Amino acid sequence: MSITVTRQERIALITVDRPERLNALDTPTLRALLETLRELAADESTCVMLLTGAGERAFIAGADISEMAEKSPAEALAFAELGHAVCRAIEEAPQPVIAVVNGYALGGGCEIALACDIRLASDRAVFGQPEVKLGIPPGWGGSQRLPRLVPPGIARELLYTGRRITADEALRIGLVNAVYPAAELLDRAWQLAQQIAANGPVAVRLTKAATRFGDEHGLAAGLAYERQCFAYAFTTEDQREGMRAFLEKRQPQFRGR
Ligand code: CAA
């Protein structure tokens, strides 16, 4: 299996498991990843997803170059559409998705990390959009998501040069939330996921939906959507439980409804 899923209660860890290719994504692996993301997105018992790469060297070293090398333009378009579908599945998943970047995140690997809600990196992580060095532009959203995440001039420099950056530089430009020693990264990621999963599941989903809506449709529409999310929360047991627990000075027991 090129994609594996490990669960800890309400958290699912997805691992791209092709270490002999530094977890580069070919069509079968991309399809398996898409299917896994869609299954977990539809699973109400999953509150947070973590995404990482197998082995100690790579998160995802990009799209599989040996598969791409002989593609026709029509095949390249289909491959770009599949990569975009994976990135959209991450963005549109109701749960937060955390990229756990344990090594190379290049090209399509960086683009998949960009689609995640949060990025944590090991001190060995290396990011970059080296597509131009292969004679192609980014194909899985890098030209759009990188300039929306980091200062646009820096994004453009990285996109035009294909320069690789270290985890420290990625932290400095805001590409990642935090950098940890490689041996600690996964534990730190589980801890962050647990912190999120301890909150009201509906509230976390509404919060992701509202931030996404504003990203897609602009501030005014995002604010209007946020008001609706806020009002909707008052139809849930979790809202009553969360506020009652505060007033009774105890931990809330959220049930996700
Ligand atoms: N596609 C296919 N195979 C890949 C790969 C990729 N993206 N990245 C690494 N591999 C393979 C290597 O070919 C090698 O296979 P063999 O053992 O059969 O030779 C194996 O993984 C190990 O890699 P290296 O021997 O190259 O390891 P290294 O330590 O010398 O270098 C590296 C590591 C710097 C990551 C280097 O492998 C590399 O530059 N990889 C390509 C990175 C890249 O350009 N990614 C972008 C792809 S284009 C893209 O993603 C388009 C898009 O927008 C969707």
Query: What domains sit in the chain, N to C, each tagged with a CATH number?
Result: 3-197 (3.90.226.10), 201-247 (1.10.12)
pLDDT of residue 25: 98
| Percentage with pLDDT > 90 across the chain | 100
70 is catalytic: no
Average of per-residue pLDDT across 160-188: 98
Name which residue sits closest to atom 38 of ligand 1, judged by CA: 61
Q: Which of 194, 185, 255 is nearest to 11 (CA)?
A: 194
Q: Which of 2, 21, 22, 101 to mutate to test the pocket of ligand 1 (most atoms within 8 A of CB)?
A: 22
pLDDT of residue 216: 94
Average of per-residue pLDDT across 227-239: 97
Is the CB of residue 107 below 6 angstroms from any atom belonging to ligand 1?
yes
Model's pTM, two decimal places? 0.97
How many angstroms does the Cα of residue 84 sit away from the middle of ligand 1?
Answer: 20
Name which residue sits closest to atom 54 of ligand 1, judged by CA: 108
Average of per-residue pLDDT across 213-224: 97
Q: One of 39, 131, 184, 248 is an active-site residue; which one?
A: 131
Task: Convert the pLDDT of each residue in 20-43 to its tens digit.
Answer: 999 999 999 999 999 999 999 999
pLDDT of residue 1: 75
How many angstroms does the Cα of residue 125 sit away from the middle of ligand 1?
Answer: 15
Task: Convert the pLDDT of each residue in 89-143 to its tens digit.
Answer: 999 999 999 999 999 999 999 999 999 999 999 999 999 999 999 999 999 999 9
Q: Which of 65, 84, 127 to mutate to test the pocket of ligand 1 (most atoms within 8 A of CB)?
A: 65
How many angstroms does the Cα of residue 99 sit away from the middle of ligand 1?
Answer: 19
pLDDT of residue 84: 98
Is the CB of residue 134 below 6 angstroms from any atom belonging to ligand 1?
yes
81 is catalytic: no
From residue 80, alpha-carbon distances to 71, 111, 116, 193, 252 in Å are 11, 12, 18, 30, 44
Q: How confident is the model at residue 144 (pLDDT cuts 50, 70, 90)?
A: very high
Compute the C-alpha angle 141/211/228, nearest 5°: 140
| Percentage with pLDDT > 70 across the chain | 100
**Helices H, strands E: what count in the chain?**
11, 10
Q: Which atom of ligand 1 is nearest to the CA of 64?
A: 1
Q: How confident is the model at residue 203 (pLDDT cuts 50, 70, 90)?
A: very high
Q: How confident is the model at residue 83 (pLDDT cuts 50, 70, 90)?
A: very high
Residue 187, pLDDT > 80, answer yes
Q: One of 111, 157, 169, 241 is an active-site residue; which one?
A: 111
Count of CB atoms situated within 10 Å of the CB of 208: 20
Average of per-residue pLDDT across 1-24: 96
Q: What is the residue-averaged pLDDT of the chain?
A: 97
Q: Which atom of ligand 1 is nearest to the CA of 137?
A: 53
Residues 6+ apart with CB under 8 A from 52: 13, 14, 15, 16, 59, 99, 100, 101, 102, 186, 189
The type of residue at 49 is M
